[in-house]
Amino acid sequence: MDKRIGLIVYDDFQILDLAALTVFEFANSLQQKIRYQFASLSVAGGMVKSSMGVAVDTQPIGFGTYDTLMISGALLIPKAMPALEAILKESASGKTRIASICTGAFVLANAGLLDGKKATTHWVWGRHLQEQHPAVQVDEDKIYVKDGSVWTSAGVTACIDLALALVEADLGSEVAKSIARLMVVHHRRTGGQSQFSVMAELEPSSDRVRDALKFAKENLHKDLTVEDLAEHVHWSPRHFSRVFHSQTGMAPAKAIEKLRLEEAQALIEQGHSSISRIASLTGFGDEERMRRAFLRTYGHSPKAFVHLSRLQKDNVYLS
- The pLDDT tens digits for 193-240 are 555 567 767 778 899 999 999 999 999 999 999 999 999 999 999 999
Per-residue pLDDT, 138: 92
Return the amino acid letter for 294.
F
Q: Specify whether 154 is located in the same domain as 290.
A: no
Per-residue pLDDT, 318: 35
Q: Specify whether 12 is located in the same domain as 144.
A: yes
- The pLDDT tens digits for 157-182 are 899 999 999 999 999 988 998 999 89
The yes-or-no verdict on residue 80 having pLDDT over 70 is yes
Domain assignment present for residue 319? The answer is: no
Number of domains comprising the chain:
2
For position 174, which CATH number holds?
Answer: 3.40.50.880
Specify whether the CB–CB gap between 226 and 240 falls below 8 A. Answer: yes
Domain assignment present for residue 318? The answer is: no
Domain assignment present for residue 190? The answer is: no
Q: Specify whether 37 is located in the same domain as 144.
A: yes
Specify whether the CB–CB gap between 165 and 99 falls below 8 A. Answer: no
Q: Specify whether 169 is located in the same domain as 210.
A: no
Q: Which domain holds residue 221?
A: 198-313
Query: 253 pLDDT band (50/70/90 cuts)?
Result: very high
Say what angle helices 302-313 and 287-298 make with each other, to 10 degrees: 70
Domain assignment present for residue 189? The answer is: no
The yes-or-no verdict on residue 191 having pLDDT over 70 is no
Q: Specify whether 143 is located in the same domain as 257.
A: no
Q: Specify whether 67 is located in the same domain as 106.
A: yes
For position 301, which CATH number holds?
Answer: 1.10.10.60
Domain assignment present for residue 191? The answer is: no
- CA-wise closest residue to 3 among 108, 119, 95, 107: 95
**Domain boundary pick from 147, 182, 217:** 182
Spatial CB neighbours of 229, under 8 Å, sequence gap ≥ 6 = 212, 215, 216, 240, 244, 252
* DSSP letters spanning 45-63: -EEEEBTTS-EEEEEEGGG
Query: 190 pLDDT band (50/70/90 cuts)?
Result: low
The yes-or-no verdict on residue 307 having pLDDT over 90 is no
Q: Specify whether 152 is located in the same domain as 261.
A: no
Specify whether the CB–CB gap between 241 and 247 falls below 8 A. Answer: no
The yes-or-no verdict on residue 123 having pLDDT over 70 is yes
